[in-house]
Amino acid sequence: MECLGYGKVHRALIVIDETCDKLYGDQFRAYFERYGVQTRICTLSGGETSKTLDFTLRVVDAMAGFGMMRRSQPLLCVGGGVVMDAAGFAASIYRRGIPYVRIPTTLMGIVDASVGLKTGVSYGGGKNRLGSYHAPKCVLIDTSFLETLPERELCSGAAEILKLALILEPELLIELEENTPHILLDKFRSLAGHRLIRNSIRIMIQQLSGNFQERDLNRLVDFGHSFSPYIEMRRVGEILHGEAVALDMAICIAIALRRNLLDEPFAQRVLQLFRNLNLPTINESFSAEELFGALEDVVLHRDGLQRVPLPRKDGPGLFANNIELLDVAWAVDYLRNG
C-alpha cells in the first residue's frame, strides 16, 4: 500500500464486485484491519449490464461520502473488466482525477482490461461510449482469484489471449494449442497458464507503449473488436465480451481466408482451437447485412477508415479498409456451412 509514493496509506475506498465481495470480502477487510488502513467498501455488481453511468456515479457518491483526500487516499478497484472500467472512469473524473489501483479478479481483467489506460462505461446503446484514459497507480495481479471464476468467464478471457496469438505472435498460438484444455482445467494456475498470462501481458504492453492514448488508430490489438461491440450490445448480458470478440475474430479469419492471407488448413486448425476453448465461431441470429452495418460506427470510431485487423498465417496481421458486404456474407456462409 505504499505504491502511491506518498508514504503509508491510512485510508482507502474499495470498490468491489459483488461476487468477489462474497468470496473474498472478509479477507480484504482482515488485511486492511491488520495493517491499520481505514477502509470503506462499496459493493457493486459486475456483468456487462452494470457497466453504466449510474455505476460510475455511485462510485463518485461513495468517494464524496467517504471524504476522500485527493492524492493520498486511493480508490481500489477489485473485480473484472466491468468494475475496473466503470470505477476507473469515476477515478478519472472525480476532482479531475484521483489515484486508483486495479486488482483484477478475472482472466479478462488480468490479461487485458488492467493493462492499458482505458476506462469507461456504455451509454445510449454504444459500447464504452463514455470514458477516458487514466493510468492506474499500480496493478496488483494475483492469479489465485481465478480459482473461483466460472469456466465460461475463463474462456471469455482466453479469447483475448487467442486474439494476441492470432494477430501478433504465432509462438503464442502454438503455446495455447499445446496447453488447451489443461489450462481450463487448472484455471491458468499451472506453469503453462502463468506463462501464457505473462506473455499476453508482455505483448499488450509492447503494443500499447508509445500509443497509450490511441493517437495512432491502426491498432492490431483491436483484432476482434470491429464487429464485436455491435454483437455484444445487441445481446448485452447474454453474449460475454470474450465470446463477442471470438465471433468477430472468426468472421475476420474467414475474410482473411477469402483474401488468401491464410489457407484453409490454417483456418480450420484455428477454428478447432476456438472449439477447444469453448468459444463460439458463429451466432445464427446475426445476418451478414447486420454485421456489415456494424462497421459504420467502427468507421466513426476509427476516424474515417475501417482499419479492421485481419490475421495472416505467418506473421503480424494487416489492416483492411475495403471490407464489403460480399466479404462478410462469404464469411458468414463459410462459418455456417464450412
Ligand X SMILES: NC(=O)c1ccc[n+]([C@@H]2O[C@H](COP(=O)([O-])OP(=O)(O)OC[C@H]3O[C@@H](n4cnc5c(N)ncnc54)[C@H](O)[C@@H]3O)[C@@H](O)[C@H]2O)c1
118 labelled catalytic: yes
Q: Which of 148, 218, 276, 306 binds ligand X (CB under 6 A)?
A: 148
* CA–CA dist 265, 235 (Å, integer): 32
* CA–CA dist 302, 214 (Å, integer): 10
Binding status of residue 116 toward ligand X by CB under 6 A = yes
Complete DSSP assignment for 119-140: EEEEETTEEEEEEEE---SEE-
Quote the least distance from Cβ 74 to ligand X, whole Å.
Answer: 18
The residue range among 27-35, 47-55, 173-181, 279-287 that interacts with ligand X, by the rule CB under 6 A, is 47-55
- Please answer whether residues 107 and 73 qualify as being in contact, where contact means their C-beta atoms are separated by less than 8 angstroms: no
The residue range among 46-54, 210-218, 252-260, 294-302 that interacts with ligand X, by the rule CB under 6 A, is 46-54
Q: Which of 105, 180, 199, 283 binds ligand X (CB under 6 A)?
A: 105
Q: Which of 22, 51, 118, 187 is catalytic?
A: 118
The strand pairing partners of 104, in sequence order, are 79
Binding status of residue 47 toward ligand X by CB under 6 A = yes
Q: Which of 73, 92, 156, 179 binds ligand X (CB under 6 A)?
A: 156
* CA–CA dist 167, 2 (Å, integer): 38
237 exposure class (CB count in 10 Å sphere: 0-12, 13-18, 19+) = exposed
**What is the DSSP pairing of strand 100-104 with strand 138-139?**
parallel
Binding status of residue 224 toward ligand X by CB under 6 A = no
- Please answer whether residues 120 and 128 qualify as being in contact, where contact means their C-beta atoms are separated by less than 8 angstroms: yes
Binding status of residue 81 toward ligand X by CB under 6 A = yes
- Please answer whether residues 223 and 163 qualify as being in contact, where contact means their C-beta atoms are separated by less than 8 angstroms: yes
Binding status of residue 20 toward ligand X by CB under 6 A = yes
Quote the least distance from Cβ 109 to ligand X, whole Å.
Answer: 5
Binding status of residue 58 toward ligand X by CB under 6 A = no
Residues that bind ligand X (CB under 6 A): 17, 19-20, 23, 46-48, 51, 79-83, 85, 105-106, 108-109, 112-113, 116, 118, 128, 145, 148-149, 153, 156, 241
State the catalytic residues: 118
